Amino acid sequence: MMVSPKFVPPLDPQFQPAVLANRAYERRVAASPRRERLVLAVEREDGRVNRLTLETVDPLSADTRQYVERLAKFMLWGWGGWRLYVGGSAELAGWLAAAYRPGGARAFDAELMGRVYERTFEVVACAPDEVPVERDVGMPVGGHLDGCRLGFDLGASDFKLAAVRNGEVVLTEEVPWAPKDQADPAYHYGMLNEGLRRAASHLPRVDAIGGSSAGVIVGNRIMVASLLRSVPPERFAEARDLFLRIGREWGVPVEVANDGDVTALAGAMGLGVKGILGVAMGSSEAGGYLDRNGRLKGWLTELAFAPVDHAASAPVDEWSGDRGVGAMYFSQQAVGRLLQPAGIEVADDVPLPERLKHLQALMAKGDPRALPVYETIGIYLGYALPHYARFYDFGHALVLGRVTTGAGGEVVVNKAREVLAAEFPELTGRLSVVVPDEKTRRVGQAVAAASLPALAAMRKEKR
């Protein structure tokens, strides 16, 4: 079902925003007397369930299949789950089950979800009333700055450390490392533990340790992470329990969250707000979410794999093999693919970070070819945020990352705001797009991570 957005990305005229495509389908269904109820649900750890209740017509039509399949995929990568319930059409349930089998169109997603939750992924067909009820909880995690705390933020080329005493930052440090190239989990443990001990020397004691890490973190365990890509499968269990081992050795509360969630927490602490979705445009797209009660939900929020474009010609993500997912619109990958249509020539062997630097240099010089790249990304974002709002209840979108650095970042944010105001006036006053201010930058990832654990009992600070 083709849609006509009010704003057409100058370098991607075929763009079909998911939010508009879904709304067009739903208007068609609302006008049909043959509509049928469909309930989709995903189940993740500890029996937690999230649901969407939909209406469909013509379950075998291409429009219906695209509508349902794209929403189901977003549910998996937005919320997470090892089981997908399809309550309603048996035809749709069978078609989705085939897509998620080995060799199917969504085999990648099924395999990754199986790894994350250590369960075989499955699609369950049932009646709408047989779908489990919503069961979801949030943890009031973060914002604790009492006591003596250590924080860390694990990145691809360095990790950051912070020592915090009763809210006062007494040390921040960046430690170079090369985790992606190390097959021995002892390297990762040794480097982090040594850094923590060095930071601890600046405190009278350590009451808690909080951490931020790229990848999927479930129950303080690393389930999927590019940082551990060189660790062989037979030794991955050692790496998976890295943070649990740190906790046992130090004998203090340890809490580790996905770096996207900690980004949202840092933004909330800096801006003094709750209900925040963080969208970080770096080497890929990272996301994080803090609900309106200031809680982390434990959702995946892997927006890099969440669909945002329904165009048949949408770019293909080389890892997942799927079209129209966030990594191709909000990252250095997006910049890399938009340079050619912008008329900016770079050699094929130039890596993505260098392509971004080249674009930023052109933008700084006022080269007219650079502006459409940022305008295109800004239009993408303006249509993606209302789509994200279907799955996340937020009032503030925190936009950050290397792609948004410099003058081009201002173009991205302003264009997104323009799209929201003109295309989605119902969100005016309810959804704001913000960028990190100086206070948010001062909080930082490692300091926000240090605030994750709550202290069950506090010893009096020795003066």
At 185-243, the pLDDT tens digits run: 999 999 999 999 999 999 999 999 999 888 888 889 999 887 898 999 999 988 999 99
d(CA 339, CA 179): 30
Question: Exposed, middle or buried by CB within 10 Å (0-12, 13-18, 19+), for 359?
Answer: buried
Q: Can you tell me the mean pLDDT for 30-42?
A: 96
Q: What is the mean pLDDT of residues 166-170?
A: 93
pLDDT of 438 above 70: no
pLDDT attached to residue 225: 84
> Residue 408's pLDDT band (boundaries 50, 70, 90)?
very high
pLDDT value at position 294? 87
Q: pTM to 2 decimals? A: 0.89
Task: Decide if pLDDT at 150 tops 80.
Answer: yes
Task: Return d(Cα 145, Cα 140) in angstroms, integer.
Answer: 14
The mean pLDDT of 267-284, rounded to a whole number, is 89
Question: What is residue 260's predicted lDDT score, i.e. its pLDDT?
Answer: 85
Instruction: Please state, for a pLDDT cut of 70, what percent of the chain lies above it.
Output: 97
Q: What is the mean pLDDT of the chain?
A: 93
How many Cβ atoms sit within 10 Å of the Cβ of residue 165? 19
Higher pLDDT, 286 or 333: 333
The confidence score (pLDDT) of residue 14 equals 98
Please report the pLDDT score of residue 441 as a whole number: 57
Burial class (CB in 10 A: 0-12, 13-18, 19+), 115: middle
Task: Determine the pLDDT at residue 300.
Answer: 93
Q: Which two tokens stand for residue 107?
A: 């085999």
- The pLDDT assigned to 337 comes to 97
Q: Does 345 have pLDDT greater than 50?
A: yes
pLDDT band for 455, please (50, 70, 90 cuts).
Answer: confident
CA-wise closest residue to 39 among 136, 119, 133, 107: 133
Q: What is the pLDDT of residue 442?
A: 52
Give the end-to-end CA distance of the chain in Å, rounded to a whole number: 68
| Percentage of the chain lying above the pLDDT 90 cut | 79
> Which run of H or of E encompasses 175?
strand 168-176
458 confidence band (pLDDT: 50, 70, 90): very low
Q: Is pLDDT above 60 for 37?
A: yes
Residue 29 reports pLDDT greater than 80: yes
**Looking at residues 257-272, what average pLDDT do you find?**
86
The average pLDDT across 151-170 equals 90
pLDDT of residue 462: 40
Q: What average pLDDT does this structure show over 355-368? A: 97
Give the pLDDT band of residue 459 (cuts 50, 70, 90). Answer: very low
Q: Nearest-CA neighbor of 386 among 432, 324, 348, 342?
A: 432
pLDDT of residue 460: 40
Please check whether residue 127 is in contact with residue 90, taking contact to mean a CB–CB distance below 8 angstroms: no
Helix (H, G, I), strand (E, B) or coil at 192: helix
pLDDT score, position 157:
78
pLDDT digits (tens, 9 = 90+) for 114-137: 999 999 999 999 999 999 999 998
pLDDT number for residue 402: 87
Asked whether the predicted pLDDT for residue 141 surpasses 90, the reply is: no
Q: Dig out the tokens for 410 from the structure.
A: 């201002």
State residue 156's pLDDT score. 77
Please, which pLDDT band fits residue 361 given cuts at 50, 70 and 90?
A: very high
Would the pLDDT of 258 be above 90? no
Task: Cite the DSSP H helix spans in 56-207.
Answer: 62-78, 90-99, 107-117, 185-200
pLDDT tens per residue across span 80-127:
999 999 999 999 999 999 999 999 999 999 999 999 999 999 999 999
